[in-house]
């Protein structure tokens, strides 16, 4: 029995830890744009998992942020637009009567661990690709956004908590920047101008 327990402990110590990012995001206080936005979450975004590896190349942490990203966009977008419709399929955009389709994606995810960076904090940096198309799929805008979050390493908190908090801070950074700067993206602004007059 003892041998079995010891074996289980050894085996669990060898595997990578999974961090499923969990956080709550406030709704932005901005006037909503008078339009119906369709949003399409790709499988790549929904199931996004970042793998942090040791120097020896072994999986150390699996950061699962897909669910939290969906939660973030589902909180932020309804405050930014009069109506938001989540599309399961891009082909449905025309029949759902949306004005435009928004497709967010994660291009890059980086994690800074205190033991590697020699800093006293956990850091998360994310590069996003944001795409806005006509309901038929024609181009409106395509732009890159970056988000950064960090959290101080606490004496008693584990690495999982630090990674989670840094990821939540990064996503909050994305939400604030996205909600304020959306109408300033040149191609979005050009497309919006005649519709807002």
Query: Where on the chain is the footprint of another protein (CB under 8 A)?
Result: 26-31, 150, 152, 172-173, 175-177, 179-180
Report the residue number, 74 or 179, with the smaller CB distance to another protein: 179
User: On the CB side of 182, how many CA atoms lie within 13 Å of its CA?
Assistant: 22
Report the residue number, 64 or 75, with the smaller CB distance to another protein: 75
CB atoms within 10 A of CB 86: 14
Q: Min. distance of Cβ 117 from another protein in angstroms?
A: 12
Q: Min. distance of Cβ 189 from another protein in angstroms?
A: 19
User: On the CB side of 184, how many CA atoms lie within 13 Å of its CA?
Assistant: 6
Cβ-based neighbours of 13, under 8 Å, separated by 6 or more: none
Are 147 and 170 in contact, with CB atoms under 8 Å apart? yes
Q: Min. distance of Cβ 60 from another protein in angstroms?
A: 25
Report the residue number, 42 or 74, with the smaller CB distance to another protein: 74
Q: How far is CA 154 from CA 55, 67, 163, in A?
A: 23, 26, 12
Q: Min. distance of Cβ 130 from another protein in angstroms?
A: 16
Report the residue number, 126 or 175, with the smaller CB distance to another protein: 175
């Amino acid at each position: 029995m003892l041998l079995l327990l010891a074996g289980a402990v050894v085996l669990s110590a060898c595997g990578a830890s999974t961090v499923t990012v969990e956080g709550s995001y406030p709704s932005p206080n901005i006037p909503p744009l008078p339009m119906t936005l369709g949003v399409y979450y790709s499988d790549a975004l929904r199931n996004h998992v970042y793998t942090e590896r040791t120097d020896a190349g072994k999986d150390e942490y699996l950061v699962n942020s897909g669910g939290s990203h969906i939660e973030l966009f589902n909180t932020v977008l309804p405050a930014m637009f009069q109506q938001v419709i989540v599309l399961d399929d891009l082909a449905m955009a025309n029949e759902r009567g949306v004005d435009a389709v928004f497709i967010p994606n994660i291009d890059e995810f980086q994690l800074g661990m205190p033991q590697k960076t020699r800093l006293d904090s956990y850091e998360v940096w994310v590069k996003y690709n944001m795409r806005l198309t006509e309901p038929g799929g024609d181009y409106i805008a395509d732009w890159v956004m970056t988000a950064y979050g960090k959290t101080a390493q606490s004496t008693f908190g584990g690495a999982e908590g630090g990674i989670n908090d840094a990821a939540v801070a990064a996503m909050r950074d994305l939400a604030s920047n996205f909600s304020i700067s959306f109408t300033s993206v040149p191609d979005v602004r050009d497309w919006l101008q005649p519709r807002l007059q």
